[in-house]
Every structure is written in structure tokens, then in C-alpha cells.
Amino acid sequence: MPYFTYDHIRFYYEDDEGDGEPFIFLHGLGGDVNQTFGVMKQSDNIRRISLDFRGHGKTVSFGHADDFSFKQFAEDVIALTEHLHLKLFNIGGISTGAGVSLHLALRYPASVSKLIVSRPAWEDKPQEKWVREAFAKIHDVLQDTDPLTAQNRYENSEVYTSINSVSSYAGESLLGQFKYPYV
């Protein structure tokens, strides 16, 4: 399994080491490389690369809560490009990954050949309070118990009940956080 260390965090990434143009494709909030590699199909013209953001997937550590930002995630991606010795690359992402990709492209335009965004879920303001609360609650309930008990605690929380009453799709999507094999 490929890992690299940056900012005292061991980041998990995947790289098919293809001969084509490097394309770094970033997952959404709560996702991992399985999301992006599930969308990116193998091609002779593309070198597929993705990483698990801090606190996501197999990148278990996350540093300080303030480190959950487009700026920090973009810096983490730049650290990956340095680890892989990439000077020029294509960047893209789904949802949060789209926001990070855009941020990176604006900060490091000389490094980005192409920008591809899918389902950008962000605007020019902080994430909605209910989303922050939902992920904070998921984090809290997972800290000291097994995933099934944590899921039950979450499903009985006011945060989940409120979200699920507005959108059962959003509620179901958030429950997916308890189904990762490495939780």
C-alpha cells in the first residue's frame, strides 16, 4: 500500500503509474480513493492518482480540526505531487474534492494543466452549519465504541433525525460513514 508522510501524517494514496498525463482526482467529504477510482476508469492516456484526505479513508490522522480546509487539503495534495516528482498535472474532484481542486488551481496555476470539477458542493461561504454538525456528531460517536453501536447512537441523535426528516437521501448518505471496513 502506498503511503507518504507530510505534516506528521501518513497519507494513503493510489497511483496506477500509467504512462499518460497525470490526473489527480479527489474524493468528496467523507469519501476515499474508492470513490474516485470507482469513477475514473483505466485509460492508456491517463495516469490515475488519488489520495485519502486527512481524516478520511486510510489516512486516519487529521491533525487539528482547523486543518480541515480547502487550503490545507490543497497543501496535502501539493506534498503528494512533490513526493511523486510531478511538476505539471491535471487536477479534479467530486464535491469537496472539486473545491480543493479549484483552490489548488488558483494557488498553483503553473502546476495545473487542466481542471475538472464534478458536483461542486461549495459556494463562496463556509459549509452549512447542519453539515458541520452532522460530521462532528459522527466523529464524536465513533471515538469510543464499535461502528454498529456508534451508528445506532447517531441514528438516535437530534442531528440525524433533523437531517433525515428534511432529506432521507442526505440521512442515508451520512450513514455510509459507518460502513467503511476500516472504521
The confidence score (pLDDT) of residue 183 equals: 45
Residues 6+ apart with CB under 8 A from 10: 3, 4, 59, 60, 61
- The span from the CA of 8 to the CA of 101, in Å, is 23
The confidence score (pLDDT) of residue 134 equals: 86
The confidence score (pLDDT) of residue 153 equals: 92
The confidence score (pLDDT) of residue 122 equals: 63
Q: What DSSP state is assigned to residue 11?
A: E
- The span from the CA of 12 to the CA of 118, in Å, is 22
The confidence score (pLDDT) of residue 71 equals: 92
Tens digits of residue pLDDT in 65-83: 777 788 999 999 999 999 9
* Alpha helix positions (H), 30-146: 33-39, 70-83, 96-107, 129-142
Q: Are 48 and 25 in contact (CB under 8 A)?
A: yes
Tens digits of residue pLDDT in 105-133: 999 999 999 999 987 666 666 677 888 78
Q: In which residue ranges of the chain is pLDDT below 70?
A: 1, 120-126, 180-183
